[in-house]
């Protein structure tokens, strides 16, 4: 199963302080809008999203159809295919995509330790 680009979406208290901190670690702005309280930052192939006031917990994010530079991939597993695989293997989904269509769509699930996983297809 191909899950696409991987990033960690962080729930931050002060986006400006977090931006400065991660810039010190070598990250630079890759996308987002600080005025809208979110930034996507990158250091090599490592991607983090900084989100202030948008969700409660940190999220592991996968983007089917994208590489680590947010370029569309020619071949990838659609979110509906991933969803069917998870359901077939008795993985409980918190949020499902319409299984009768193909992306863009997203699904949400939790790992056994309660960590949030978002599979978010944009293409």
| Residue 4 is assigned to a structural domain of this protein | no
Note whether 26 and 44 are same-domain residues.
yes
Is the pLDDT at 99 greater than 80, yes or no? no
Write down the mean pLDDT value for the chain: 95
**What CATH number does residue 32 fall under?**
3.30.720
Is the pLDDT at 117 greater than 80, yes or no? yes
For residue 89, give Cα distances in angstroms to 70, 80, 83: 29, 14, 10
Number of structural domains the chain divides into: 2
Spatial CA neighbour of 9 closest among 68, 55, 67, 70: 55
The helix (H) or strand (E) run that includes residue 79 is helix 79-88
Note whether 42 and 99 are same-domain residues.
no
Interval 86-106 mean pLDDT: 91
What is the pLDDT at residue 44?
96
What is the pLDDT at residue 123?
86
Note whether 115 and 67 are same-domain residues.
yes
| Residue 23 is assigned to a structural domain of this protein | yes
Task: Give the burial class of 61: count Cβ atoms within 10 A of its Cβ; 0-12 exposed, 13-18 middle, 19 or more buried.
Answer: buried
Task: Show the domain range for 21.
Answer: 10-56
Interval 56-73 mean pLDDT: 95
Note whether 69 and 40 are same-domain residues.
no
What is the pLDDT at residue 102?
78
> What percent of the chain stands above pLDDT 90?
92
Owner of token pair 């696409």? 4
Note whether 121 and 61 are same-domain residues.
yes
pTM of the model: 0.91
Note whether 83 and 49 are same-domain residues.
no
Note whether 37 and 80 are same-domain residues.
no
Is the pLDDT at 98 greater than 90, yes or no? no
Read off the pLDDT of residues 18-62 as tens digits, 9 standing for 90 and up.
999 999 999 999 999 999 999 999 999 999 999 999 999 999 999
Note whether 45 and 68 are same-domain residues.
no
CB 103 within 8 A of CB 116: no
């Amino acid at each position: 199963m191909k899950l696409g680009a991987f990033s960690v979406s962080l729930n931050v208290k002060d986006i400006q302080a977090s931006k400065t901190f991660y810039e010190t670690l070598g990250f630079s702005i890759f996308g987002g809008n600080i005025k809208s309280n979110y930034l996507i930052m990158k250091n090599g192939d490592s991607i983090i999203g900084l989100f202030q006031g948008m969700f409660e917990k940190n999220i592991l994010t996968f983007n089917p159809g994208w590489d680590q530079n947010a370029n569309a991939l020619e071949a990838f597993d659609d979110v509906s295919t991933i969803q069917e695989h998870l359901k077939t293997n008795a993985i409980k989904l918190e949020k499902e995509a319409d299984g009768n269509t193909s992306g863009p769509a997203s699904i949400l699930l939790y790992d056994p330790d309660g960590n949030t996983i978002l599979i978010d297809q944009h293409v």
